[in-house]
Amino acid sequence: MAAAVQHKFDVRFDENNQEFSIIGSMRPQRAEDLDLCAKLFEKSLQTVKGTLYVNVKRLVRLNNIAFRVLAGLMVKACGERPDLRISVITSSVVGWSTRKFATLRNINRNIVVEEYDNEFYPGQAFVENSEIISLLRTQTKMTWRHERNILDRHGIREGMSVADICCGIGDFVVLLQKEFKPARLVALDHSKSSLAYARNVANDFGIQGIEYIYGDASEMLLEENQFDFVTCRHALQIFDRPELILRELFRICKPGGRVYVTNEKNSHCLGEPRGESIQWTYNEVAKILAHFNQDIEIGPKSRRLLLDAGFDDVRMESFMVTNLDGDPQDFADIIESWKNLFAGSMTALRKDDPQFVERFRRGFDDHIFAALHPKGYAGWPIWAASGRKPQ
């Protein structure tokens, strides 16, 4: 069963998922204004067994009249049916909702509140590590030499409405603003510390006109069909359910617009001399990321993921960042940061034995040696892909 009640908010019930969703701004003048919502809620209860999920992840406003109506419906339902459990699903992006609905737990213990994105990003703690910031800036510096022209081939143009989702510390979005002069440019990320850093970077460079937004990439509050071009770089690979992000990128993109993603396949990193040691270590990088529910091998899968998400006219290409792209020391600095992250905090968390860690670190050191050797070669492959949202 599915139904919708239109006002300044939408109310829907998904029978298959036993999920009652409220989206938008719910600010009635009278309790009677929510009669249709109440009827749909009561009708939904007739089909639910076990747990009813009340999804308020996109309920951005709620006045006291509406809260009393919703609270009354949930408390009444649990009071009449001791077998019923109601799980209210909130998001940290709408900060008040978790606190407000959590009070219902004191009235009926069968009402619980779960913050959807509380532990949703397995790679978030690593991304927010302050030691990685300099690494991210150096990475963008090296990839931009390739991506500047790739973005052209994938259709970005001056004057477009552009969004960079999972913008991180914002260095890429600054380059977009300088190079392509979008009519509108939104930068969204789920890390408040990264957004704060991004704003400072923009201020330092005197960049104006970027809208920085705190948000969950898998449940954005941005309206649908807004952007001509949407970018999302190196993010699908650190998310345990990339299809959820792609669904949202599709939603906010205009029909005919394009979504551009980049991803890696770290086991294809290479270097000479000492190629065998380097290869072993990067195979292990893929395994340790998989241990933390991240897929650092996702690059070549990008075409399939875009097609499965509903895009057509998928364009795909790969490029190799190397020690020959400018200063070899920049490449070596990236590998040094990888070593500290992968063979440092991650091996410690996985409780790897010292012999493994020593061999693991040696591969990174050998990659650095290859990058700085006068006759050496070191590479890091990246796949860039974009898909068009059908008209």
- Residue 7 confidence (pLDDT): 54
Least confident of 125-129, 148-152, 261-265, 384-388: 125-129
Q: Mean pLDDT across the stretch 238-254?
A: 94
For residue 131, count other CB atoms closer than 10 A to its CB.
12
Q: CB neighbours of 172 closer than 8 A, spacing ≥ 6?
A: 140, 144, 164, 231, 233
- Residue 201 confidence (pLDDT): 79
Residue 118, CA distances (Å) to 75, 104, 221, 391 in order: 25, 19, 17, 36
CB 223 within 8 A of CB 252: yes
Least confident of 10-19, 226-235, 313-322, 347-356: 10-19
282 against 192, higher pLDDT: 282
Statement: residue 4 has pLDDT above 60 = no
- Residue 8 confidence (pLDDT): 82
Residue 292, CA distances (Å) to 53, 153, 238, 289, 342 in order: 27, 34, 9, 5, 11
- Regarding pTM above 0.85, the answer is no
- Residue 3 confidence (pLDDT): 46
Q: Mean pLDDT across the stretch 269-287?
A: 97
| pLDDT tens track for 32-68 | 999 999 999 999 999 998 999 999 988 888 999 999 9
- Residue 58 confidence (pLDDT): 86
Q: Mean pLDDT across the stretch 109-135?
A: 67
| 3 state SS of 155 | coil
- Residue 145 confidence (pLDDT): 92
Buried b (16+ CB within 10 A) or exposed e, 13-32: beeeebbbbbbbebebeeee
Question: Whole-number mean pLDDT of the chain?
Answer: 90
Q: Mean pLDDT across the stretch 74-91?
A: 92
For residue 262, count other CB atoms closer than 10 A to its CB.
25
**How many Cα atoms sit within 13 Å of 85 on the Cβ side?**
8
